[in-house]
Amino acid sequence: MIHKEDIDKIFEAARIEEVVGDYVTLKKRGVNLIGLCPFHDEKTPSFYVSPAKGIYKCFGCGKGGHSVNFVMEKELMSYPDALRQLAKKYNIEIVEEEQSPEQLQSQNDRESLFVVSSFAQKHFTENLYNTDEGKSVGLGYFKERGFRDDIIQKFQLGYNLNHRSAFTDIAIATGYKLEYLVKAGLTIEYKNEEKHTDASTEIDTPPPVKQEAKLLDRFWGRVMFPIHNATGRVIAFGGRTLRTDKKVAKYINSPETDIYHKSDVLYGIFFAKKEIIHQDNCFLVEGYTDVISMHQAGIENVVASSGTSLTVGQIKLIRRFTNNITILYDGDSAGIKASFRGIDLILEEGMNVKVLLFPDGEDPDSYSKRVSNEELKNFIKENSKDFISFKTNLLMADVKNDPIKKAELIKEIVQSIALIPEAIYRSVYVKECSRIMDMDEQILLSELNKIRNKRFNEKSNSPAQTPENNNYEAAIAVEQKKEEAIVSTDHQERKIIELLINYGDKIIMVDSEDNEGRPIQVESNIAHLIIAELTHDNIVLDNAVYKNVYNEFVTQLDNNKIPDSKYFLNHEDNAISLLTIDLISSPYALANWERHSIYTNMEEDDLKKSALKALYTLKSRRLEIMVHDVEKKMKASTTDDEIIKLQQVKHQLDIAKVSINAFLGRIIVK
């Protein structure tokens, strides 16, 4: 945990224009700097940096933040890692507290799973280099596979000793809770004659269980492959046995946990993301060693599905970094045919896919060791094919001269093309299919449209989407939107918070009375005025984020302090920080027009008027909501007495509303 004092030093030193300038070419525009957004493609600059406010904001894609946020977004880092990188850049020494086992146990469950997983990785790596068994068995295996030391250390590979509870015993003795070791899938707890098999638990069959609870390592006697998320935190493990017993599973993986959902995880994504962005392409392989060997060969934009069928979640993870995927298959054609569904999923997500087939008996791991790095790169470049060419070449051997089978193949390829959401891409692939299969393009287009129309009709005519249901649901949705618009005060509350954050400490003159009741003017500030008015009328903000900001103002004012925009900009609550960026950001800055005798009124020129307008607009909106609520009750009322009472309430509300609106009418809207 980084000390608060060090965090403040980092924020003070990390000037936003310098941090962003390492990635973006910035040009001066008034008091701001402007450049092309690094987070989305654009030709016209919409990315602004404000040195005075210490923030960046893209008015194209909406991303914004301070120096630390920028590093987090650009490098896909966690908050602590971004702080560490900036500390290194500005030569700031940081002190990190070593957390005690008691502190670790007090953290929330999710964070505790990260903590025990990190401890496990370090322990397994320690075993690999600092135990006799680890060096001879684990390190010996990796060396035999041809992995260099720098690669072994990069992927944090390790070894768990060949003792059924070696890791669990040390973890508990160190102070880690058994509860989290079990939840993380590192330890298995057997109790009271429970019977488990290797098939059901994916671990090696345990010995006969005694009456007392038995603790076993899930990965005992295995070389370990830590699995990292996109920000580099260890979330799970894969373990490979080195025993030759066929009854023992060769590979086992961590079970699903709160931090590990295998359908949303790709092995190696943390180590590959930068190069994926740089190359604008992601190589997809099958296993851990394929990824590691490719990195060793100098190809780093590679990830693995870890032996599972490709999922939509994994595809979307890749799409965060590129729209292009190249799947690298080994020579097993039967396995490749079974994986065609993965190609269709990629196409359906609107991504581009190419396929590479290694020679028979080869996979990325073995082939990368057989040829030079340059030969491997050339082989991939020269042999990657679009999915139509690949699918056609692979299946044509089965078709031979059978016209029926050829027609089925063409139809299968057209069905894949029909999944592509973009019409232009579909058209290009239809032309390619027409050329390769020697088939009239119009016939293919006709078949493609037939498939797409059929799918559309199936969706439209499903029980939940009948015309009657569609009309009814649409009507309900319209009514709900109307209702939300009527009862929402979000816009008015936002204006209140904007004034507090931007001008809370600004001094204004407000009306008051002296001891004898005579009207006088006294000094106050915007924060005191707003809070006094809302407190007087018992108004509580509805929006949770706005309410949190407002409550912080109340608390700080009680301590005779007024927080400024910087306080909220660097707030530990990310929602408050992002809100502050939105509220203080503007792509526009007026030039010095006074020298041309052109004068404009800004909001800060008459803050009292702006604050009163915002307050009374919120009060007016609240009255409208109350009137709306009374009218609904009147419609639902069944007795005359109740209706009369409600009418009286409505009359009083209408009077109050007229009074407030009259006040608003005297305020000139700028």
pLDDT tens string 582-611: 888 765 544 454 444 444 455 555 788 888
CA 520 to chain centre: 55
Q: Which residues pair with 511 in a beta bridge?
A: 521
Count the neighbouring beta carbons within 10 Å of the beta carbon of residue 54. 23
Domain ranges of the chain: 4-89, 105-260, 264-458, 487-588+601-665
Contact between residue 39 and residue 116 where contact means Cβ atoms under 8 Å apart: no
Q: Which two tokens stand for residue 298?
A: 């100098």
Q: Who has greater pLDDT, 577 or 138?
A: 138
Of 314, 116, 289, 327, the C-alpha closest to 230 is: 314
As a whole number, the mean pLDDT across the chain is 82
Contact between residue 38 and residue 24 where contact means Cβ atoms under 8 Å apart: yes
Cα dist from 366 to 95, 147, 161, 371, 376, whole Å: 45, 12, 27, 9, 11
Identify the DSSP state of 465. G
**What is the rounded CA–CA span in Å between residue 482 and residue 478?**
6
Assign domain 105-260 to its CATH architecture: Alpha-Beta Complex (3.90)
**What is the rounded CA–CA span in Å between residue 145 and residue 133?**
18
Q: Which two tokens stand for residue 85?
A: 């990188």
**What is the average per-residue pLDDT within 602-625?**
82
Whether the domain at 4-89 and the domain at 105-260 fall into the same CATH topology: no
Q: Is the pLDDT of residue 204 over 60?
A: no
Amino acid 357: pLDDT? 86
Contact between residue 228 and residue 114 where contact means Cβ atoms under 8 Å apart: no
Count the neighbouring beta carbons within 10 Å of the beta carbon of residue 120. 29
Count the neighbouring beta carbons within 10 Å of the beta carbon of residue 574. 12
Say if strands 385-386 and 507-513 run parallel, antiparallel, or are unpaired: unpaired
Amino acid 643: pLDDT? 84
Contact between residue 343 and residue 387 where contact means Cβ atoms under 8 Å apart: yes
CATH topology of domain 264-458: Dna Topoisomerase Vi A Subunit; Chain: A, domain 2 (3.40.1360)
Amino acid 596: pLDDT? 47
DSSP SS3 for 669? coil
Amino acid 514: pLDDT? 73
Q: Which two tokens stand for residue 478?
A: 């319209």
Q: Who has greater pLDDT, 27 or 596?
A: 27
Amino acid 657: pLDDT? 81
Amino acid 282: pLDDT? 95
Q: Which two tokens stand for residue 450?
A: 């037939």
Contact between residue 539 and residue 618 where contact means Cβ atoms under 8 Å apart: yes
Contact between residue 232 and residue 180 where contact means Cβ atoms under 8 Å apart: no
DSSP character string of 102-162:
HHHHHS-HHHHHHHHHHHHHHHHHHHHHHSHHIIIIIIHHHHHTT--HHHHHHTT-EEE-S
- Residue 119 contacts by C-beta under 8 Å, 6 or more apart in sequence? 171, 174, 176
Of 232, 223, 379, the C-alpha closest to 294 is: 379
Amino acid 410: pLDDT? 87
Q: Is the pLDDT of residue 358 over 50?
A: yes
DSSP SS3 for 64? strand
pTM of structure: 0.59
Q: Which CATH superfamily is domain 4-89 in?
A: Zinc finger, CHC2-typedomain (3.90.580.10)
